Amino acid sequence: MAVSKLRKGNRAAPVVEINMIPLIDVSLVLLIIFMVMTPFLVQQQIKINLPHSTSSTEGADRPIVITVQREGEISLNGHPVPASGLEDELRTEIGSANERPILIQADRETALEKVVAVMDIAKRLQIGKLGIAVEQPK
């Protein structure tokens, strides 16, 4: 700390200044941390223009995703579906073969009743594979 003597009579008074060097050091360290961490936090996707085919079909192992939100809204493969029409939409989605698995993604705070209703519809349609999406522990 720099102390200089100011003459006001016989007393010496310290000169108070804010030292900016530690603030700049901390700012630069934080900037470097953010620069290093940003590529890990942002998922980069490679965009590929795939060729089109008229005879292609979805694989049997690709799941049908049913999302149940906290308020009870239901989505089938990302498209909103009313709860009363879920069975009909699901029936047309799976077609005649019941081999495609169904994956239920439900919000943590969703009422269990809504998830059980979706599972009941899958059971009525005699779906062979039914799964519930969970988050891996960190």
At 32 the three-state DSSP class reads helix
Query: In this structure, what DSSP letter does residue 109 have?
Result: T
Task: Tell me the mean pLDDT in the region 78-91.
Answer: 87
**Residue 116: Cβ-neighbour burial (10 angstroms; 0-12, 13-18, 19+):** exposed
User: Mean pLDDT, to the nearest integer, of 27-50?
Assistant: 73
pTM (predicted TM-score): 0.54
Domain ranges of the chain: 64-132
The C-alpha angle 120, 121, 124, rounded to 5 degrees, equals 85
**For 88, phi and psi rounded to 5 degrees?**
-65, -45
Q: What is the DSSP letter of 80?
A: E
Burial of 103 (0-12, 13-18, 19+ CB in 10 A): middle
The predicted-structure confidence for 98-136, as pLDDT tens digits, reads as follows: 778 888 888 878 788 888 898 898 888 888 888 887 766
Question: Which is nearest to 122 in space by CA: 113, 134, 130?
Answer: 130
Predicted confidence (pLDDT) at residue 95 exceeds the cutoff of 60? yes
| Percent share of the chain, pLDDT over 90 | 10
Quote the pLDDT of residue 7.
54
Angle, CA of 120, 124 and 125, to the nearest 5° = 120
Class of domain 64-132: alpha beta
Q: Are 119 and 112 in contact (CB under 8 A)?
A: no
What pairs with residue 106 in β-bridges? 68
Q: Which residues contact 42 (CB under 8 A, 6 or more apart)?
A: none
Average pLDDT, the chain: 77
